[in-house]
Amino acid sequence: MRVVMVVVVVVMALPSCLKWTTSASLRPKRQEWSVVGAVESVLTSHAPCQHACLLLADQHEELEVTQAPRGVRVLRAVGGSVNGSDASHGRLRETVDGVREVLLDVPRWSTRILVLTRLPLSHLGGLHGLLSNRNAMLLRIQDHKTSRSVRRVDVFVWQPYSAPGSTPLRVATWTPHGRLTLASHMSLFPDKFSVFSSAPRLKVVVEVLPAHSVSWVDDAGEPGGRRLEYTGYISDVVKHFATRMNFTITYVLSPERTFGSRMPDGSWTGMIGMVVRELFPSCLPGRSLLRGGWSANTFSPVRVLLQQGFRALREQQSCPMKTNSASLTPNADVVWPAEWWWWEGLVLGLWMLTTLVLTKSYAGNLMSLLAVRYVPQPFQTLRDVLDHPSVVMIWQKYSSYEQLLRDSTSGEMREVAGLEKEGRLEFHTQVRFKEILDTLVRAGGHVLADAGNSLTKLIGSDFSNKALDLIEQGLIEYGIENAPNITACGNIPKKMLIMSSFSVSNIWGVFVLLGGGLSAARDGVVHGAHVPPLGRFTHSFTGSLMD
């Protein structure tokens, strides 16, 4: 059976309502056919008006547009049977998405879809994915058994992520008298993605991130007798969503074990590819913010976005780097009017150097500073690696970094992509980074380029392994046992000699004592100057006695 799809897109440009779409704009060829009144009742009874509406009808419903008000567009597309192959279903979905993207630049979830048909529910299995995972409703016409006249129109809603053979929920009923009656507590176009009433079990594809871990645990209730366990702060966020939205989680890994990138044929790899192929409803850490990743994963009900700094990187490769060094370099007497004396700077520098040496010497750190080993680090920027004649760069395979290199048309990223022809650019998966770090990178001929948190995790893991080797070999315990006075803390002495450097805070008493002695000596000298000589005093005293 061939199906004629009629798509009616209503774009509201004014603060009016969906009453633009009336029976006058969707007039049937036969006047006795009044099913379009059900569509009109559903559209006019729905309060929100700032959205588009897609009306899909099969070949039985022959609609003829005789009057198109402002903002209405009608398109027709011929497809296969709705209960036939997956290819027919895919063409139907592609047509709907294409109409939405061409006519209206709004998110998918502000578009309402109505499917009008006379087919029984058992013949609509091919539309289950469209009706369950979209904001769509099914209008099924029921005729009288004896006549061709319409008896009623039932409005159904399929729950998200429900089984293909499940029964939809009837939310309303319309009769030819023009009466629309709600049949459940749910409203028209219900918000069925806030809380899942069916409590589905969703599979979430994950990838290893820094500060996260993936492990397999035994579970008899899972296929294969084991279950993937994902721990980290992102897992806590997903569990919070699972509790709020009423669903359970099953973690899985992508076959390539990568975040995913776009291939030359348009397909996608990794976790993004699994979501694009609709194998799973969501992925962690989510979609890339690059141009291709944004269009691939248009919507996912449960997703966690980890935004990486690709936008700033793309701006950096297209704009020259600006520094503030020019503002610190005067080039005229107006900027620096004062005259500079070179000997003043020389004296100041020598004085600062002498002060630094003396300070470090008295602090006891001079010898330790002289014994520091210098470790060369020739590659500080990406330009240093590009200018090197032979070093090989290693980037993550099937990742957004690889896509960024291949999509760049200018700047340093384009130069990095050009190294692949010279044999100086390699791509490896993140799982092999630890092996590559121990073999290729340590040899000195390769450089590993990745996100900062990933490289920090590799460095921390390497340090932890070396510390663990020292502990397992007993070197730390041997050094502690053979340290001198290891038992000194068992009998702490009552008197201890504390060695410290000289400063004003601990020798202020010396200055007080010296100042007090000088003050006492000064007072003695001053008072001694006013005492008369002893001989003169004796002579005067004896003379008075003789008189």
Q: Where are the domains of the chain?
A: 3-182, 201-307, 382-474
Q: Helical H runs in 364-399?
A: 366-370, 382-387
Lowest mean pLDDT among 318-322, 342-346, 440-444: 318-322
Average pLDDT over every residue of 516-532 = 69
Q: Which two tokens stand for residue 457?
A: 């995790």
Checking if the pLDDT of 495 tops 80, the result is no
Structure-model confidence comparison of residues 306 and 105, the more confident one: 105
Which residues is 169 bridged to in the sheet? 157
- Per mean pLDDT, which range of 94-98, 174-178, 336-340, 344-348 is the poorest? 336-340
Residue 456 has pLDDT above 50, yes or no: yes
201-307 fold: D-Maltodextrin-Binding Protein; domain 2 (3.40.190)
pLDDT attached to residue 544: 43
Range with the lowest mean pLDDT among 99-113, 166-180, 272-286, 465-479?
Answer: 99-113
Q: Lowest mean pLDDT of 6-10, 218-222, 542-546, name the range.
A: 6-10
Give the amino acid at 108. Answer: R
Pick the more confident residue, 38 or 236.
236
Specify the 3-state DSSP secondary structure of 326: helix
Residue 24: what pLDDT? 38
With bands split at pLDDT 50, 70 and 90, how would you rate the model's confidence at 426? very high
Beta bridge partners of 9: 73
Looking at the chain, the whole-number percentage of residues with pLDDT higher than 70 is: 56
Task: Classify strands 226-231 and 213-218 as parallel, antiparallel or unpaired.
Answer: antiparallel
Q: Please, are residues 55 and 9 in contact by the beta-carbon 8 Å criterion?
A: no
Mean pLDDT estimate for the chain: 68
Q: Given a cut of 50, is residue 4 above it in pLDDT? A: no
Of 67-71, 173-177, 333-337, give the lowest mean pLDDT range: 67-71
Q: What's the mean pLDDT in 37-61?
A: 57
